[in-house]
Amino acid sequence: MTTTDDPLVSTEWLAAHLKDPKVKVLDATFKMPGVLPLPKDDYLKAHIPGAVFFDVDAVSDHTNPLPHMFPSAEQFGRDVGALGIGTDDTVVVYDAGGWVAGPRAWWMFLAFGHGGVRVLDGGLKKWTAEGRPVESGEASPKPATFRASFDASRVRSMQQLVANLDSCAEQVIDARAGNRFEGAMPEPRPGLRSGHIPGARNLPYGELFDAATGTMKPLDELRNAFISAGVDTAKPIVTSCGSGVSAAVLTLALYRLGVRDTALYDGSWSEWGAEAGPPIATGPA
């Protein structure tokens, strides 16, 4: 449906394709636990016409106590199919404008073998700022068949990152705010230590988009942000964050820069930072 391999699409593009039956729109808005109103309530109040709600907590492995871990391919196919998305559809994901979970949903689709997925640049924030239409209430999608096949190379486990402490084969980039990365403030999730994975670099995901417009920054600014963080984009990269969601913002930015073979640490700090977890570091990178 698109003529470029850029993972972003513009609001203009989406507006022109909104009535295309093969273009499916997902609202993947996510908030930290305890933040109100709930993302689903925001969706019910206002969303892009025809969009269905993609709940990263629901489309996850419910047997795992960690938050919103990747589900099996069977579950992902079943859950996505129930949202009315078929294997041949083009999927456009967005969030409310804070660049948190839209990229996570995008990476999940890629990891489960669906290349026809894009992120709406600027999300709902830009869409509404332009005076484009929204609707309220629940969508009623017609179930479809979605065939999913998991590509394990796009995800890393804690065991793999523990081994990486010695090998240093992959650079780890943490998307959390600097004070969380340095261990200068408590984690928002209770029971976690403060700090970061030893050897990790820090690039807060908020530095990659324009807060005023909600759009991702130009490629040269993205490239400079990674360089300033001490990242060599020619070498293997794993992205991490608090729970594997905002890390995908870094993944998306790297993808835009042509770095396509990165991986995401799914458990992220929710797993590594547990009291009985692996060694941690504090202070600047």
Closest to 60 (Cα-Cα) out of 112, 25, 97: 112
Q: How buried is residue 269: exposed, middle or buried, by Cβ count under 10 Å (0-12/13-18/19+)?
A: buried
Q: Please tell me the predicted confidence (pLDDT) of residue 251.
A: 98
- Tens of pLDDT, residue by residue over 192-219, are 999 999 999 999 999 999 988 899 999 9
- The residue from 241, 248, 253, 263 that is catalytic is 241
Q: In the annotation, is 168 catalytic? A: no
Q: Please tell me the predicted confidence (pLDDT) of residue 99.
A: 77
Q: Please tell me the predicted confidence (pLDDT) of residue 109.
A: 98
Q: What is the DSSP letter of 199?
A: T
Dihedral sign for Cα atoms in the order 78, 84, 90, 94 = negative
Q: Given phi > 0 = left and psi -120 to 50 = alpha, else beta, which region is 122?
A: left
* Contact between 245 and 30 (Cβ < 8 Å): yes
Please state the rounded mean pLDDT for residues 61-76: 97
Could you give the count of Cα atoms lying within 13 Å of 244 in the half-sphere of its Cβ?
26
In SS3 terms, 79-109 reads as HHHHCCCCCCCEEEEECCCCCCCHHHHHHHH
Average pLDDT along the chain: 95
Closest to 24 (Cα-Cα) out of 120, 101, 113, 164: 120
Pinpoint the alpha helices (H) of 102-235.
Answer: 102-111, 123-129, 158-167, 178-181, 219-228
Is the bond leading into 37 cis (omega within 30 degrees of zero)?
Answer: yes
Q: Please tell me the predicted confidence (pLDDT) of residue 1.
A: 40
Q: Please tell me the predicted confidence (pLDDT) of residue 2.
A: 40
Taking the C-alpha atoms of residue 72 and residue 156, their distance in angstroms, rounded to an integer, is: 15
* Contact between 85 and 108 (Cβ < 8 Å): no
Percent of the chain with pLDDT over 70: 99
pTM of the complete model: 0.96
Q: 120 φ, ψ to 5°?
A: -75, 115
* Contact between 59 and 108 (Cβ < 8 Å): yes
Q: Which range, of 130-134, 178-182, 208-212, averages the lowest pLDDT?
A: 208-212
- Tens of pLDDT, residue by residue over 94-119, are 998 777 789 999 999 999 999 999 99
